[in-house]
Amino acid sequence: MFNMKPFEEKMKKSISVLEEDFATIRVGRASAKVLDKITVSYYGSPTSIDGVATIKASDARTLVITPWEANMVKEIEKAILASDVGITPTNDGKCVRLVFPALTEERRKELTKKTAKMGEDCKVAIRNIRREANDAAKAMKKNSEITEDDLKTAEKNIQDVTDKLIKEVDAVVARKDKEIMEI
Q: Kindly report the CA angle at 22 between 174 and 160, in degrees rounded to 5?
A: 55
- How many domains does one find in the chain? 2
- Same domain flag for 110 and 175: yes
pLDDT at 134: 94
Last residue of a domain, one of 80, 99, 118: 99
Coil vs helix vs strand at 126: helix
Coil vs helix vs strand at 96: strand
Average pLDDT over residues 64-72: 90
Which of 76, 61, 73 lies closest to 31 in space, CA to CA? 61
Give pTM, 2 decimals.
Answer: 0.73
The backbone torsions φ and ψ at residue 41, rounded to the nearest 5 degrees and listed phi first, read -80, 115
Average pLDDT over residues 64-91: 87
Average pLDDT over residues 47-75: 88
Percent pLDDT > 90 in the chain is: 42
pLDDT at 87: 81
Average pLDDT over residues 3-13: 92
Structural domain for 109, as ranges: 5-23+104-181
pLDDT at 82: 86
